[in-house]
Amino acid sequence: MFLKYAAILLLSSGLLLAADSVNPSCKADKRVVGACFAVHGRLSNWNGNPTRRIWIVGTKRVLGVREGTELPKALDDRLGDFDDVATGDFEVCPLTVEQPGRMHVVCVASVANIRMSKRK
């Protein structure tokens, strides 16, 4: 009997975490100008606008997360101050057209494989 309840608890907590990793309002945003895409990067807070930025690992490219857009709950709850860094897989939707030499502004539709660390 105990194993049955333990299995139900584990399954339900996994479903909650999966639901918390998605932000449906991003894909539905009327400001989205193109197809959403996946990147592996590091999200952190920076001084300036936009505050939240994703550096795409292995490139010099930085994506700016539009101020006022929500992050998936699983990430928003864990990204607190300027020392927090979230490394993982992000599905982002473009809110501006990509231009060389300019920050591409996006919203975050979903996250996966997130590992939290502190900035060095």
pLDDT digits (tens, 9 = 90+) for 56-74: 999 999 999 999 888 998 8
Higher pLDDT, 111 or 16: 111
Q: pTM here?
A: 0.80
Q: Summarize the confidence of residues 46-53 as an average pLDDT.
A: 94
Region 26-40: what's the mean pLDDT?
Answer: 95
* Gap between the Cα atoms of 11 and 76, Å rounded: 23
pLDDT digits (tens, 9 = 90+) for 78-119: 888 899 999 999 999 999 999 999 999 999 999 999 999 998
- Of the pLDDT bands very low, low, confident and very high (cuts 50, 70, 90), residue 9 is very low
pLDDT of residue 15: 34
* Interval 7-34 mean pLDDT: 66
Contact 32, 107 (CB under 8 A): yes
b/e per residue, 69-91, with b = 16+ CB within 10 A? bebbbbbeeebeeeeebbbbebb
> Which of helix, strand or coil describes residue 55?
strand
Q: What is the C-alpha to C-alpha distance for residues 105 and 53, in angstroms, rounded to an integer? A: 9
| pLDDT value at 5 more than 50 | no
